[in-house]
Chain A
Amino acid sequence: MDKHITAPITKEVSRTLCAGDYIYITGTIYTARDAAHKRMDEALAKGESLPIDIVDQAIYYMGPSLAREGRPIGSAGPTTASRMDRYAPKLLDLGLTAMIGKGKRSPEVLDAIVRNGSVYLAAVGGAGALLSKCIKSSEVVAYDDLGTEAIRKLEVENFPVIVVADCEGNNLYETAIKEYQR
């Protein structure tokens, strides 16, 4: 089913999303990948606050290529989400609603999605040029020294994603494959 939603994404909305839904996101999302997650985790371990308020937010696992002049961002497709698995449950428990990436998640992340009523969304891997067209602005808001791995605030318009893991415990990566196995 095709749905249009706005970000930040409340739990009220994320609970209505089902594995297999095709979603277009408009609004504000944040990027973070390996190095930024490591730093956020270290900050939490030291009892410090996170550099962004993650409640109701969506984190896009993405590190862009450089923007050419006059463009907000370079190529901007998803990176493999499983590398963030060791950090994600904690962030979900703190109120993060959505994760956007590609690839399988750990049982711990899938449990945290169910527990918190959050959602895991896949963007098409290797479609970085197409996805960059849906990003209207990009601003580094934390960890500038990490370069492509800094935390960015993005304004997106009709950003296309597919619901992979929903709060009912459905996992499209498991079910869709069975349909075409021979």
Chain B
Amino acid sequence: MRTIDVNEITKNIKEMCIEANHYLSKDMDIAMKKATESEEAPLGKQILNQLQENLKIAVEDMIPICQDTGMAVIFLEVGQDVHIEGGDLEKAINEGVRQGYVEGFLRKSVVGDPIIRKNTKDNTPAVIHYSIVKGDKVKIKVAPKGFGSENMSRVFMLKPADGIEGVKNAILTAVKDAGPNACPPMVVGVGVGGTFEKCALMAKEALTREVGTHSDIPWVKDLEEEMLEEINNLGIGPGGLGGTTTALAVNVNTYPTHIAGLPVGINICCHVNRHIIREV
């Protein structure tokens, strides 16, 4: 049994919130540079160049890449041989978010009640997804999510007869509807299977998978590649103003499902696709 102090969790989450909002992750950086090279539309290329300049300013002047510094989504994979001590884990996670958003000059975008809508002024609470895994480590994934793209995300409860063509249609429909609203070039996270909530959660977690990597399942890898090509043939382009780069990646996760269903969740993310992973 390994012991981890909750303060360790707080400290890491604080740093990760600040880092994710100022530095593009390496996989996204490679994908964005490649897109800037290959974009065929003159206006599209100009926009991608502006985004490169934006990333440079963000790091040099410590100005967040985007003013929507997101709602903090946190995946915590806790090893079953870990004992967490020193306080309440959930409080420690939210304290990390609070410190990161207050001390990092990040925007406070969370309201305490969806109808009353009073700002909590420290960007808490986070949306936290726990899982218990093998081992004696804690893996923390921090993915602050902006709502320009979150609002364009969808769940489709398809019928088994809809099959793979139904899944493809669902993905293309969501991307077409998102268009310029989701700040393209986008990353598309997809969850196929499970239940209503499972497919949405898989779609969210798919966004944290390194851009440029593919599923180990042959049909899923094929789907990822085919969908990326088809999405880029839509012509939406950078900023939705036309071009050959509409998405940088399509990441698909799958899970067994019920004999009567084919749930598909599509979580759309912008060209920043903030995600950081650390192991404690």
Nearest to A35 among chain B residues (CB) is: B117
Q: Taking the complex as formed, is A37 at the interface, i.e. its CB lies under 8 A from any CB of chain B?
A: no
Q: Which residue of B lies closest to A131 (CB)?
A: B54
How far apart sit A147 and B117, CA to CA, in the bound complex (Å)?
Answer: 12
**Size class of the contact patch on chain A:** 35 or more
- Asked if A180 and B243 sit within 8 Å, CB to CB, the answer is yes
B59 to chain A, nearest CB (A): 9
**Residues of A with C-beta under 8 A to B65:** 75, 126, 128-129
Q: Which of B121-175 contact A (CB under 8 A)?
A: 121, 148, 151
Distance of A127 Cα from B244 Cα, bound (Å): 20
A64 and B67 contact, CB distance less than 8 A: yes
Q: Residue A104 contacts which of B43, B62, B180, B270 (CB distance < 8 angstroms)?
A: B180
Q: Does A65 contact B (CB under 8 A)?
A: yes
- A74 to B117 Cα, complex, angstroms: 23
**A106: Cβ under 8 A from any B Cβ:** no
Interface residues of A in 97-147 (CB under 8 A from B): 102-104, 122, 124-133, 146-147
- In the assembled complex, the Cα of A79 lies from the Cα of B181 at a distance in Å of 9
Q: Are A80 and B181 in contact (CB under 8 A)?
A: yes
Please measure, in the bound complex, the distance between the C-alpha atom of A179 and the C-alpha atom of B58, giving whole angstroms.
32
A147 touches B121 (CB 8 A): yes
User: Which chain B residues numbered 45 to 59 have a C-beta less than 8 Å away from chain A?
Assistant: 47, 50-51, 53-55, 57-58
Interfacial chain A residues near B253, Cβ < 8 Å: none
Which residues of A are found within 8 Å of B66, using beta-carbon distances? 75, 77, 125-128
- When distances are taken between beta carbons in the complex, the residues of chain B under 8 Å from A71 are 63
> Which of A128, A131, A146, A179 has its CB near the most chain B CB atoms (within 10 A)?
A128
Q: Which of A6-14, A47-55, A88-96, A169-177 contacts B (4 or more CB under 8 A)?
A: A169-177
Are B67 and A62 in contact (CB-based, < 8 A)? yes
A3 interface hit (Cβ, 8 Å): no
Q: Which residues of A contact B40 (CB under 8 A)?
A: 180
**Which residues from A are CB-within-8-Å of B62?**
68
- The 9 A-B pairs at the shortest CB distance, nearest first, are namely A176-B242, A180-B235, A125-B183, A103-B181, A181-B235, A130-B54, A75-B67, A65-B107, A129-B63
